[in-house]
Chains A and B, each alone.
Chain A
Amino acid sequence: MKSIGLSKLRNILYIWYREYRVVFHDTGVVLFFIALPLAYPLLYASIYNPEVVRDSPIAVVDNSRTMTSRELCRRIDAAPETKIVSYCANMEEAKELIHRRICLGILEIPHDFNKKIMRGTQSPVIFYSDMSILLNYKNYLATLTDITLDMGKELQSRKLVGATREQTDIATNPIPHYSIVLYNPTEGFASFLMPALLVIIIQQSILLGIGLIRGEEYERHLHSLRGDTLIGKSLCYYSLYLVIILYVLYIVPRLFDYPQWGNRWEIFTFTTPFLLSSIFFGHTLALFVRERESVFLVIVFTSMIFLFLSGVTWPYDRIPLVWKIVGALIPSTWGVEGFIRMNTDAATLYDVRGEYLVLWGLTILYFGTAILGNKWLSLSTQKQLQNEAR
């Protein structure tokens, strides 16, 4: 009894050791396992490195041409988020600029703008915003709201003749408020998207690499995958990814100064079931890869789907139930959620225990599907071969 256990163990160790040779002798696998997680984070990080959008272009059609209207324009131009690129004589000219995409927003100041303010009635300005890029719209909306409210307060305080500064302040703003943006204080795009992308990149590189190895083995009719083989292979991949995780989840965020508040040992602990479940998930998906190169066709497009299922771009509670269930079966959904909470929101491992446990559950689930699926696959191919032999 004991000797069987020992021989199993020896088997596992031997397969573990042999798998390193499989990995490093295949340029394709090296590319997926090493080059991809090395290069993609840097590429994405540099694309999004400017973090925030400055100077969204605006064209102004100032029909009022008064001191107040010019003051308004000056302040809009001075705001960091917006920039006035042109003063147009009429709307037609401004529209032309939008169609040429020289500006993406038009501010129209009506001819009676100043008159209305003097008269003491509301004096609206009109803004047209292109909606093809939402970050520009966000800039326009925030800046215009802030500036018009500020100017409004100043106009209001002019009426309070003889009041002290504090009195004016209290009269115009009885309930002051302040907002604190937590965890991503600059509201940067990279700080928001990159942590999720990093986790997805790790998972996809695992899926692609394993798919390629298994596809190759299928082509060579080496598709039987017993428990000890699976464990041995997975130990090899897991040991490789320990190093990669260190680079992707620790060094890259450090290099690009992303929020990094979590305890790094707890994060490493969290990644264990994430890596294992991704590896076994990879072995399960690889059942559908019958050829080395078809791994590209089967796996690559899923990156976008997994990114959306993780709930980072679209709030998780607003995802329809069907997709929530599908998402719950993907390791990255829980991996992204847990990593962001720990890394960016400074949650402890205890706070993300739900995600942690689910990932262990997925590990067990996909270990089972990988074994059973491969058994079924080898049976069905055997039958096929027998049929052909007849």
Chain B
Amino acid sequence: MKSAGIINALWNTFHREIRRLVSRRIYIFTMIIVPIFSFVFFLTLLRDGLPHRLSVAVIDNDYSSTSRELTRQLTAYNTLDITTRYRNFTEARQAMQRGEIFGFLSIPDDFEADLFAERQPQIAYFTNETYFIPGALIYKSLTTMTTLASGVVVKQNLLVQGEYDRDITAQLQPIPVDMHPLGNPWINYSIYLNNNFLPGILELLILLTTLFSIGTEIKYSTSREWLLSAHNNILLAIAGKLLPQTIIFFAMGCLCLSLLYGYSDFPLLCGAWPMLTAMLLFVLAVQGLGVFLFCLLPSLRVSLSVASLLGVVSFSLTGFSFPAEAMYSTFRLWSDILPLRHYFLIYAEQALNGASLFYSRIHYIALLIYALLPLPFLPLLKRALQQQVYLP
């Protein structure tokens, strides 16, 4: 085919596809409305970054000046909010079961008296780990608080014994840990989750749209006409058809990146280009995966089922919530063959840690391989399109 013919064929399919995309509301819904809705949803949902003012309760059986002082110190924590006091364990436990509090602290009888008599009164705290994030935050604040309370007492004793104030801190905590959470010093959950969730949603939508748009051609017996518009060249047919979607989804990807790194000002240590390239390759890779799936399973429903499975499981298998390294080896392997995993690793190294591009080379190449993956299988697709058999 001459180059003019190629351009003509591409233009035909491209033009035809754009008309198809605007003619049905479902495409506008999945390609524009859902991505924008999801971006806004997750960014506004997690806008607090780190939850604060979590409800906890105190059971103060002593009610002395020391125990009240302890409670007062607790209210000074940003993460905690002492909402109620209960008289006994049962009441507090029931409140926890009703979901009113995430944890509670119990101060025993004669706390003050025992403390002054050096009888080591014990403080107990109970956290509900059914809710992971609040549980962990409350645990941390309560541990710090009780350790510090202990410290105050030791400090008093040492002062009485004639030690200098400046030496006392060193004795209380000789080895402090100077913690540096790289790239996200605020431990902001929005930074942590949205950088992975938003591309994850995109992956799901791109997969489904690619398959749906190819599959409905067979369903409504328009696939031969589609092939004809590309002069029966399957490569041009698929390129012309997917190009409008690539453009729209890449635009959505850019919107996602600009919302993350521009509007929300999340850490972007690598500059714009590495992430933009990654996003473009990611969109192409997911489309490639979609076409590949359809080549192997040229039934609309079966391929959409597989794509939904892959798309939804990606969120778990990518390993940003539960690390892939801790999973069974089968799943680790599976994780390695998901485009989202490679995008996640590029993000982690480039945007978050600011490493040189060299370290992410394999992941860029992996995404590229995905984009090219369907090429050897296109004849299968061509046959399916010519047979035009729809199975409900």
Contacts and interface: CB of A to CB of B under 8 A. Distances in A.
B323 A28 contact: no
B343 to A, nearest CB: 12
Nearest to A148: B175
Give chain B's interface residue range (CB within 8 Å of chain A): 35 or more
A54 B326 contact: yes
B24 to A, nearest CB: 9
Contact of A315 (B102, B149, B315, B316): B102
B96 A315 contact: no
Contacts of B300: 293
Nearest to A133: B323
B64 interface: no
Given A134-B189, A179-B143, A298-B26, 14 more contacts: A46-B328, A117-B175, A125-B177, A131-B191, A173-B120, A177-B143, A183-B129, A259-B130, A292-B301, A293-B219, A301-B38, A320-B45, A344-B130, A351-B98
B175 A131 contact: no
7 contacts: A53-B323, A129-B182, A174-B118, A175-B121, A177-B124, A297-B208, A317-B53
A320 B209 contact: no
B176 A122 contact: yes
Interface stretch (B4-12, B134-142, B238-246): B134-142
Contacts of A347: 97-98
Residue picked from A294, A320, A337, most chain B C-beta under 10 Å: A294
Interface in A176-217: 176-185, 187, 189, 191-193, 195, 216
Contacts of B205: 297, 301
A43 interface: yes
B51 interface: yes
A303 interface: yes
Interface stretch (B252-260, B278-286, B305-313): B305-313
A244 interface: no
A31 B51 CA distance: 39
A297 B327 contact: no
Interface stretch (B14-22, B164-172, B229-237, B371-379): B164-172
Contacts of B113: none
A379 interface: no
B170 A122 contact: yes
Contacts of A308: 41-42, 45
B349 interface: yes
Interface in B311-357: 311-313, 315-317, 319-323, 325-328, 331, 344-345, 347-349, 352-353, 355-356
A2 interface: no
Interface string A154-178: 0110010000000001111111111
A53 B41 CA distance: 30
B124 A293 contact: no
B326 to A, nearest CB: 5
Contacts of B63: none
B174 A152 contact: yes
Nearest to A68: B175
B99 interface: yes
Interface in B158-189: 167, 169-184, 187, 189
Contacts of B127: 179-182
B192 interface: yes
A178 B139 CA distance: 11
B215 interface: yes
B323 A182 contact: no
Residue picked from A99, A173, A191, most chain B C-beta under 10 Å: A99
A385 interface: no
B297 interface: no
A174 B323 contact: no
A332 interface: no
The 9 lowest CB-CB distance pairs between A and B, nearest first, are A132-B348, A184-B129, A347-B97, A131-B184, A177-B146, A99-B355, A174-B153, A148-B175, A177-B123
B96 A345 contact: yes
Given A53-B326, A131-B184, A151-B174, A297 B26 contact: yes
Nearest to A293: B300
Contacts of B143: 145, 177, 179
A300 B308 CA distance: 7
A303 B34 CA distance: 13
B136 A138 contact: yes
Contacts of A179: 124-127, 139, 142-143
Contacts of B380: none
Given A31-B305, A293-B219, A300 B187 contact: no
Given A117-B174, A125-B175, A346 B97 contact: yes
B13 interface: no
B153 A48 contact: no
Interface string A282-294: 0000000011111
B197 A304 contact: yes
B48 A318 contact: yes
A23 to B, nearest CB: 14
A171 B157 contact: yes
Given A131-B352, A314-B51, A301 B204 contact: yes
Nearest to A146: B143
Contacts of B368: none
Contacts of B326: 50, 52-54, 135
Given A49-B328, A301-B38, A152 B317 contact: no
